[in-house]
Amino acid sequence: MSHAPLRLAIAGIGTVGAGVVSIVQHHAAMLRQRTGRDIIITAVSARDRTRDRGVSLDAYAWCDDAIALAQRTDVDVVVELMGGAEGAARQLVTQSLQAGKHVVTANKALIAHHGAELSEIAEASNVMLAFEAAVAGGIPIIKLIKEGLSANRYERIIGILNGTCNYILSVMERTGRDFADVLAEAQALGYAEADPSFDIDGVDASHKLCILSALAFSTVPNLQGMHCEGIRNIGADDILAAHELGYRIRLLAVTVQRPEGIELRVHPALMPQENKIAQVTDVYNAVHLFTSHAADMFIEGRGAGRDATASAVMADVIDIARGHTMLPFMVSAQTLARAQLVPLDAFDSAYYVRLRVRDTAGVLAELTRCFADHDISVASFIQHATHPNQEATIILTTHITTEAKVRAALVDIKALSSVVAPPCMIRIEEE
């Protein structure tokens, strides 16, 4: 192992970048003790030189063009914190790897879209491409999969991978407030972006799940064919009904190895209140791993934020400083399989269905007939108070059936004259 200083360049000095700078500046002696060498920053790049980031950048070379960091001779590791699957981030990472520099990134979109290609470049250049911070912030889930549980076959992963959605659902649960109101609060507190689509539509969680699935099952990261559904349609009625039924609603990220292929899906789900995942609240993330020999492993922690994410970035930097390098996806990129994804229509589950109907005689009979026509057995029924315009909210749950059957039944139900709003369907995840 080299004892020369490990020289970092950081592209993107936002919240996380400033956190990385702070760790390097304030914990230099500890880092030297733990790695046997100094870790120093030599160059940085960001959009605005004048912005106050709470840390001093005066000692570092400034590059207006982040891509120029790839060619600097005083840089061993490029830390990419700009974000985005294309453009400057992709160029910088590609050129840095080609130039023989290690890369540490928190960019889940980049790895989800181009992870296999970048892994091949890293292997050819004999350098490390590390992305611990790309999934679940300060939770060391990638290290756990790649190292601590590497002797195991992974069977299933279930996680809460987006803190914004978990915060919104948790507050709705505690207060009875509706989605739009709580989203506005999350934006005011900085938990949600001005444009929250990336989070609340499930895109962020899908990128993270794509990476975990590729690691667990040695497959090429694949967003094509993944089912991705967010929480926009979850209302206060759903939170209340779930509670009455003994459940909580969470945005789940699920991947399962099946004989016919891999399930890969992000969607809201009802989970039993006593389930460990269901008990995760606010901005916390959690991952539940089901393995062949270590049984199941549950890990929870902060999924985002300056300190948690900067900690994950520096964990990868420390590995490089110690000379502990390994393949990005545990196996050679050329051996990654192209996964056959199981279509969602073949998915088996129980289902929750919320309906707004005219409160007239015979409505329930019409609804149950539609389900029976598609061989679906109704398990429970709740009717909430009649609305002033003689409309009622009806909640139904089904016994286990297929997604295809439920979707077909809902097409018929939507066409009924007694149904006055589009049905809301949520899957029930019992485990």
- pLDDT score at 98: 98
- pLDDT score at 303: 80
Q: Which helix (H) or strand (E) holds 40?
A: strand 39-45
**Cβ atoms 267, 427 nearer than 8 A:** yes
- pLDDT score at 233: 92
For the segment 7-43, what is each residue's pLDDT rounded down to a tens digit? 999 999 998 999 999 999 999 999 999 999 999 999 9
- pLDDT score at 382: 86
155 pLDDT tier (thresholds 50, 70, 90): very high
- pLDDT score at 425: 95
- pLDDT score at 176: 94
Write the Ramachandran bin of 270: left for phi over 0, alpha for psi from -120 to 50, otherwise beta: beta
For the segment 90-127, what is each residue's pLDDT rounded down to a tens digit? 999 999 999 999 999 999 999 999 999 999 999 999 99
Of 160, 339, 134, nearest to 257 (Cα)? Answer: 339
Q: How far apart are CA 263 and CA 277, in angstroms?
A: 19
- pLDDT score at 142: 95
Concatenating the DSSP letter of every residue in 291-350 gives ESSS-EEEEEEE-SSHHHHHHHHHHHHHHHHHT----TBSB-GGG-B---BPPGGG-EEE
Q: Which residues pair with 238 in a beta bridge?
A: none
Full-model pTM? 0.93
**Cβ atoms 11, 82 nearer than 8 A:** yes
**Cβ atoms 95, 65 nearer than 8 A:** no
Instruction: Provide the percentage of residues in the chain whose pLDDT is more than 90.
Output: 77
Is residue 206 predicted with pLDDT exceeding 70? yes
Tokens representing residue 120 in the block = 């091949």
286 pLDDT tier (thresholds 50, 70, 90): very high
Mean pLDDT of 410-419: 92
- pLDDT score at 352: 97
Of 253, 228, 258, 252, nearest to 339 (Cα)? Answer: 258
Mean pLDDT (the chain) is 93
For the segment 217-275, what is each residue's pLDDT rounded down to a tens digit? 999 998 888 999 999 999 999 999 999 999 999 999 999 999 989 999 999 999 999 99
2 pLDDT tier (thresholds 50, 70, 90): low
- pLDDT score at 10: 97
**Three-class SS of residue 85?**
coil
Catalytic residue status for 414? no
Handedness of CA 211, 214, 217, 223 (dihedral sign): positive
- pLDDT score at 225: 84
Of 377, 366, 352, nearest to 419 (Cα)? Answer: 366
Is residue 386 predicted with pLDDT exceeding 90? no
Q: Which residues pair with 258 in a beta bridge?
A: 261
In 88-146 the beta strands, taken as DSSP E runs, fall at: 102-105, 129-130
129 vs 361, more confident: 129
Residue given tokens 């005011």 in the structure block: 188
Is residue 210 predicted with pLDDT exceeding 80? yes
For the segment 336-374, what is each residue's pLDDT rounded down to a tens digit? 999 889 888 888 899 999 999 888 888 888 998 999 999
- pLDDT score at 45: 95
- pLDDT score at 411: 95
Q: Which helix (H) or strand (E) holds 143?
A: helix 141-143
Q: For residue 199, give every residue at least 6 positions away whose Cβ sits within 8 Å of its Cβ, in sequence order, or none.
A: 162, 164, 165, 192, 193, 230
192 pLDDT tier (thresholds 50, 70, 90): confident
Q: How far apart are CA 145 and CA 309, in angstroms?
A: 18
Is residue 385 predicted with pLDDT exceeding 70? no
Spell out the domains of the chain, with CATH numbers in brackets.
Answer: 6-137+309-335 (3.40.50.720), 141-303 (3.30.360.10), 347-428 (3.30.70.260)
Q: Which amino acid is it at 316? A: D
Q: In angstroms, how far is CA 165 from the centroid of its own chain?
A: 10
Q: How far apart are CA 218 and CA 231, in angstroms?
A: 30
Active-site residue (options: 108, 146, 208, 405): 208
Q: For residue 344, give every residue at least 6 positions away whose Cβ sits within 8 Å of its Cβ, in sequence order, or none.
A: 227, 265, 403
- pLDDT score at 387: 65
14-18 long-range contacts (CB < 8 A, ≥24 apart) are: 14/46, 14/81, 15/305, 15/306, 16/81, 16/106, 16/133, 16/306, 16/309, 16/310, 16/313, 17/44, 17/46, 17/53, 17/79, 17/81, 18/53, 18/54, 18/55, 18/306
Q: How far apart are CA 144 and CA 155, in angstroms?
A: 15
Mean pLDDT of 319-337: 93
Burial class (CB in 10 A: 0-12, 13-18, 19+), 277: buried
